[in-house]
Amino acid sequence: MRFAVGVTGMMPSSRLAEVAPMRFVFRSALCAWLLLFVSPAWAEGEAGRAASCVLLGKVRSELNPNGEPGVVIVATSPSTVSAQTVVTNAKGDYRIPQLPPGAYSLRLEKEGFAVAERTGVDLRAGRVVRVDIALTPIPATSPRAEAPTEDVGAVRGQGVDVDQDLINRIAVVRVPRSGSHGQSDGMLAEDWLSGLSPSDPGYGINGKGPLLPPPAWNPDRRFEGLIGVNTATDSDGPQGSNSSRDAAPDWAVPLMPVVIPDGTPQTVFRAPRPSEPAASHSEPVSAPPPLSDMYFKGYGVNPTVDTEEQRFSTFSVDTDTASYSLTRAYLERSALPDERAVRVEEFVNAFEYGYVNGGDVPFTVSVEGFPSPARFGYRVLRIGVKAPEVRAAERKPSHLVFVIDVSGSMDGSERLGLVKRALHLLVDALDARDRISIVAYGSEAREVLAPTAATEKQPLHAAINSVSIGGSTNAQAGLELGYALAARNRVEGGINRIILCSDGVANNGVTDADGIWARVKDQAAQGITLSTVGFGMGHYNDVLMERLAQVGEGNYAYVDRLEEARRIFVQNLTGMLQVVAKDVKFQVEFDRSVVSRYRLIGYENRALTRQEFTDDKVDAGEVGAGHEVTALYEVQLRTPSLPLGKFRIRFKAPDGGSSKPLEVQLPAEAMRSSYESAAPVTRLAYVAAAFAEKLRGSYWIRPLTYDRLIVLWEGLGPALKDRPDVKTLGALIRTTRSLDKRDDRFESIVPVRGMDFDRAPRIK
């Protein structure tokens, strides 16, 4: 159904009295003389160091109450560009110096222990903060699993503590007659789950995870992949520097456990420092895992909300697709992605659904629902939004400034080589309306190509081919030069866009991210937007790339193959470049008399409050020409025959100004009687979302096995299944079925047969 809506030696006191005046005069003169030669940069650096913070503490456990050695600690904060990683010493102590002030989150990992997290660690300027943490051993009879400290089925603290009363209460779940599957009153949920068994293929999240094939040994690159701030080299080679590495404290450990995506720790000897004797180079070094140093940030899983407590669901739109293509790159390397890398909405929005826009309205909305294949008593509600199309001939003229990372970590055919092939495709897709500039940055930034008309194909292709690897990663210098080029050559009334092509690893020139965010946001406000395109597996910073695009009012994509580059730069060129609506927000107001509970599937890092929906000072997502945005809910109905509530959109025109509201009803007539009776594209959206939910270990998807998910994919119909992108989705699901050997983290607490479909347990 569619609707048209619009972070001093001792000295005797008598002698001291004689020399004090002379000493004072001498010191005053000396200080005055020195001040003439002290550079402002040195003074600023000293001020920055004085304002920096130190985080330290001890990690203990029941096994080692005096201190747990070898614990990997990762500190993340919006105040820093990349994560800071250290390892506890033999006494269980850790220390992270020179941190910018801000709020930090800590994540602790060690084989045989549950993962521990500590959030809200507040570091103030010049302060030393101590945080001691205890790890919980995993019983020897229990398989290794990650047990988060917060409810993985909820964000914002919702969920229930697990106790015997809960287990007894949900041992047998009964669902009323109004359940979405139309069962008779009192039907047992365990009957609905009949046939499921922990031994079934694809049951819940089962097994141990994949074993990665051994990486090819390359003695010249043996130190790549090391994690931590205490190694002598980084991913960019010897050009990178870190003074703290040359003066490591006595508590620094020589061995670094590296956790690869399947959760299996490996031990890698640290790289020798230049000051060490040459003999140290003969130490045995294990080959690093191919997918190490991948930085992600998790946002939890949305809770199920009771409409009596909150009937409004509000969030910013997200048209990014990077999470899906990153996951595809993982799976095609026979590895499961980090659960934090999976963002459901980016899986869903990676596919086209054929929504139609009338052309005379800002947005068209389509709604459809069906009984949930995974959640007893709930229905899936799909809300699809389509932005107006802009014909290629009507696209605005553009000046695109490509800022290309050429640091050592970008070496390789799947990194800089793929960047070049992607840019060649783009050059051939642009026309006389467009100009291109190219900036490359390693240790420093340089202008490779001044603004050149897209019709000058030969010099453009030659400039792209001339870009080569060199230096460490000074991302800030690259962006500054790119913005300067864009500002000097602004296309009035046109598209002015910085496109950053990088792996997101910034290890030189950037220590405090606040300055970058402010710069990017200010330039976006002046009409120079920023999009990010990620390349490479291993040494990749998803957190930075996503945040830059979000602040820069652009989009974030990840290129794992040439076909993806063609999709972004050629097929979706107009949609990527031309924004048709800014600060787009969605809100659903559920009718309490009709909907008793609901859960938004995905969009956890885009959540807004009800009040932020109408606050024009709150930033939200941008939508390009012809873009489709899909949101899925799970809803529990009281009265299936009445409208579910209202769906609202709020957005600004591309050039800003005040926001405009749009509103439509969510009609009961949009609900179908079965999954099979829903439109094929609605089924596709659900399959993509369910796949993402399983990959990130969501509580709510536990009853849906991989085998059943494949059956749902088969039910998309021949026409849709034969589409190349949908066919790839099916192949990825099958690959994951063979790789996913993780244990269901909830099974020992709340077995699938007796799971509570309304509330997720809190795992501590």
Instruction: Give residue-wise pLDDT tens across range 409-467.
Output: 898 888 999 999 999 999 999 999 999 999 999 989 999 999 999 999 999 999 999 99
At residue 80, the pLDDT reads: 63
Q: Give the orientation angle of helix 680-695 with respect to helix 706-714, to 10 degrees.
A: 160
Q: Compute the distance between CA of residue 505 and CA of residue 524 in angstroms, rounded to an integer.
A: 23
Most confident of 69-78, 286-295, 387-396, 501-510: 387-396
**Greater model confidence, 5 or 296:** 296
Percent above pLDDT 90 for the chain: 54
Right CATH for 53-135 from 3.40.50.10330, 2.60.40.1120, 2.40.340.10, 3.30.379.10: 2.60.40.1120
- Name the nearest CA neighbour of 458 among 424, 498, 417: 424
Same fold, 53-135 and 398-570: no
Could you identify the residue written with the tokens 């509103």?
663
Most confident of 293-297, 356-360, 733-737: 733-737
CATH T-level fold of 398-570: Rossmann fold (3.40.50)
**Greater model confidence, 444 or 87:** 444
Q: Is 161 exposed, middle or buried (0-12, 13-18, 19+ CB in 10 A)?
A: exposed
Mean pLDDT of all residues in 158-181: 35
Q: Report whether pLDDT(748) > 60.
A: yes
For the chain, the residue count is 764
At 710, the pLDDT band (50, 70, 90 cuts) reads: very high
Mean pLDDT of all residues in 287-293: 54
Give the start-to-end residue ranges of the domains of the chain.
53-135, 305-390+580-739, 398-570
Q: Compute the distance between CA of residue 339 and CA of residue 334 in angstroms, rounded to an integer.
A: 15
**Greater model confidence, 78 or 486:** 486
552-580 pLDDT, tens per residue? 999 999 999 999 999 999 999 999 999 99
At residue 343, the pLDDT reads: 97
332-372 pLDDT, tens per residue? 999 999 999 999 999 999 999 999 876 667 899 999 999 99
> What CATH number does the domain located at 305-390+580-739 have?
2.60.40.1230
Q: Compute the distance between CA of residue 637 and CA of residue 623 in angstroms, rounded to an integer.
A: 32
Mean pLDDT of all residues in 753-757: 90
At 99, the pLDDT band (50, 70, 90 cuts) reads: confident
Could you identify the residue written with the tokens 């969510």?
666
Residue 601 near residue 688 (C-beta atoms within 8 A):
no
Q: How far is CA 607 from CA 150, 187, 367, in A?
A: 18, 36, 21
- Name the nearest CA neighbour of 206 among 217, 197, 193: 197
Can you give the pTM of this predicted structure? 0.68
At residue 508, the pLDDT reads: 56
At residue 473, the pLDDT reads: 79
Q: Compute the distance between CA of residue 510 and CA of residue 82 in angstroms, rounded to an integer.
A: 9
At 291, the pLDDT band (50, 70, 90 cuts) reads: low
CA 706 to centroid of chain Cα atoms = 24
At residue 294, the pLDDT reads: 86
Residue 485 near residue 517 (C-beta atoms within 8 A):
no
